[in-house]
Structure 1
Amino acid sequence: MTDIDEPAADLVRFNRATMAYDRTPALENVDGRVVAGEAVALVGPNGGGKSTLVKAVLGLVPVVAGSVTVTGRRPAAARHSVGYVPQASSLDPEFPVTARQVVLMGRYRRIGRLRRPGRRDRDAADEALALVGLTDRAKARFGTLSGGQRQRVLLARALSARPPILVLDEPFNGVDAVSQEALITALEQAKGAGTGVLVSTHDLTVAQRLCEQTCLVNRRQFAFGPTEFALTADLLRACYGGQAVELDAGRLVVTRG
């Protein structure tokens, strides 16, 4: 990939940040950063603040203490620097567009909504589809794709704009093994091109494979640092209220009980 915007030293910086809804803190004292060419896993139980932190990076949740900056600016002023990838299940699969048309939508952040996509935009869309392994499905209607394929199309849409930062909300939930591997491969290539990645996930194995850093949260920050030190059984038990266990071969999972 080429033509990525010039990144700042810290693409995203959390400086003892506290986010709130209606003045009630939802997530407190987050301190860490996302840098170019690395991925940060955002890990924690449901309701623990992962979505709140994602929304803070997008400028959709107020920061009531400390600060969050994106490429050195307030998040609301830096939205064009962020490629956001929602869960595929949040979109209407009946929307009558092809996979390629969905990916082309990502180019509007560069060309504006009033301009028609040109050759360069179509090439960028095709390149992004190739990165997620869906060149052969470019003309397929979005709603006919599997859940995993739709998630890959949404990643391609974000990649087509070539942003310095990717923010992904639970992209691995419910996807098949082939799509999971395709997503990981595409994100690794994006990192290699200098993109910073913040990915919310419950899949600790994926976090260990993909992410150099992990932010562990449950209403507050439990850890923010190298993944091998953040995803320990002790820290996971503390964060998940004693629900974390370690299985064979060092594979960490979270269970109830």
Structure 2
Amino acid sequence: MSDNSTPPAALESDGSSDYTPKSYDIAPEDRDLADSLVNQDPIRDLSGPVSVVGAVKLPEKITREMLPSDVRARVDARLADFPEVNRAAAEERVILEEAEQYAYAVRVWGGPGEDANAFQQERFLVEHDIYDAQRKLSERLTALQEIVRHDRKEDPETGELYDEPVYRIQGDMRLATEHEAAELRRRIALLEGSEGQRRLAEARYEAVEHAKKLRDEAAIDEEAQQLAKSEVRAARVADRAAAYRRFEETER
């Protein structure tokens, strides 16, 4: 028995989609709040990843001896470019600049403190990801340039002798390392471009929503306290009115 039924036609798609990506745009009425959360000094307005217990007396100014050895070396290298007659006047400014750069780097490596909002946390996380990718890229490029020896070769056309470098990484490993370096370059470009911007936009949106929630909770708490005071007063008035009523009833 033959089957004369016609199979259903395959669904065709023009590649379009009804999906609408979530927008992290900030509402006009929230833009001032967003600016206040985003435009904070990463050093002076935020604590670092290390907390100190107890009262700590901060020095009036940062001196060279307070700096880590690598930061101190950068200070000395910069001061060496100044004429000796101007070096003392420039020292305090150079020390402060290098100390601030170091404090910023610490936040990139370890993240900001607990007082940071979602945008600030993500900002340093993006920078950490960029730093990590740049570090790996530098390692791969250094490995690709590493030469183990030079072999003496003769140019077949001119007969001239020359030294041909023999790299440590060769063959398939070299191709894989070159591919990894290209992927790291692409990763850095994304972090410095579209991906980084998307992550920061999402984090800014989350920071604004969290701040609005905290603000609303604070307003509710304040309103609840006022209502509680009003209810306590109303209860006291009612108690006193009841007492007066009992007194009036006994006087009849």
**TM-score higher than 0.5:** no
Query: TM-score interval w.r.t. the shorter chain?
Result: under 0.3
TM-score by length of 1: 0.20
Q: Whose helix proportion is higher, 1 or 2?
A: 2
Larger radius of gyration: 2
Q: Whose strand proportion is higher, 1 or 2?
A: 1
TM-score by length of 2: 0.20
